């Protein structure tokens, strides 16, 4: 679905609530985060004092070292709800061998899974970078998400192609010449660049 007209204009009837900062975090294994996990709590407005934690929206972002060289990212807003079954129980994934979460200097957070890592800035503006080793062995940025790219969205009275409801939005940066494939069975062109999925 398209929530924006171009890059900056929001469509009529759409109200995005962007993640502003990684205000709090659990580093696995502790609290809610498991082994090889990093759990981020990202409010939709800057928290400047204790009163700022009242009556605001929150995105929960869970980064997991899912397999060697794979980092799974899950965004949720109000994860609870009625089970719509049928469903069957799945065991929790075992963390990737060598997957580890850590806190660095200046409050930066990190998660490593093999040659891939995620680095999170704790201060505004919101920024999560995904890094990998280049051919020369030096770490380079593969993609990133940041300010105005991760949000929960309310739609009410929007155009017909956006039904009323609440949605989660995520945008990753792509470099020139990068292509997106896959995303399940779809009867559209194989390369997904420029499509709304």
| pLDDT tens-digit map of 21-67 | 999 898 877 777 778 899 999 999 888 888 888 888 899 999 999 88
**Residues of the chain below pLDDT 70:** 90-98
pLDDT of residue 79: 76
pLDDT of residue 150: 92
Print the SS3 string covering the chain. CCCEECCCEECCCEEEEECCCCCEEEECCECCECCCEEEEEEECCCCCCHHHHCCCCEEEEEEEEEECCEEEEEEECCCCCCCCCCCCCCCCCCCCCCCEEEECHHHCEEEEECCEEEEEECCCCCEEEEEEECCCCCEEEEEEEECCCEEEEEECCCCCCCCCEEEEEECCCCCCCCCCCCCCCCCCCCCCCCCCC
pLDDT, mean over the chain: 85
């Amino acid at each position: 679905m398209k929530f924006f007209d171009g890059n900056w204009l929001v469509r009529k009837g759409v109200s995005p609530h962007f993640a502003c900062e990684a205000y709090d975090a659990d580093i696995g294994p502790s609290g809610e985060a498991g082994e090889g996990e990093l759990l981020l709590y990202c409010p939709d407005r800057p928290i400047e004092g204790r009163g700022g934690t009242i009556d605001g929206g929150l995105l929960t972002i869970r980064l997991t070292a899912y397999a060697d060289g794979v980092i799974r990212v899950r965004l949720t807003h109000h994860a609870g709800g009625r089970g719509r079954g049928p469903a069957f129980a799945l065991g929790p994934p075992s963390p990737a061998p060598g997957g580890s979460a850590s806190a660095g200097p200046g409050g930066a957070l990190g998660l490593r899974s093999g040659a891939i890592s995620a680095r999170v800035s704790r201060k505004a503006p919101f920024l999560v970078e995904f890094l990998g080793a280049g051919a020369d062995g030096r770490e380079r940025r593969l993609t990133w998400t940041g300010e105005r790219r991760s949000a929960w969205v309310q739609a009410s009275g929007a155009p017909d192609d956006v039904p009323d409801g609440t949605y989660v939005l995520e945008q990753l940066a792509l470099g020139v010449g990068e292509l997106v494939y896959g995303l399940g069975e779809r009867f559209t062109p194989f390369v997904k660049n420029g499509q709304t999925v």
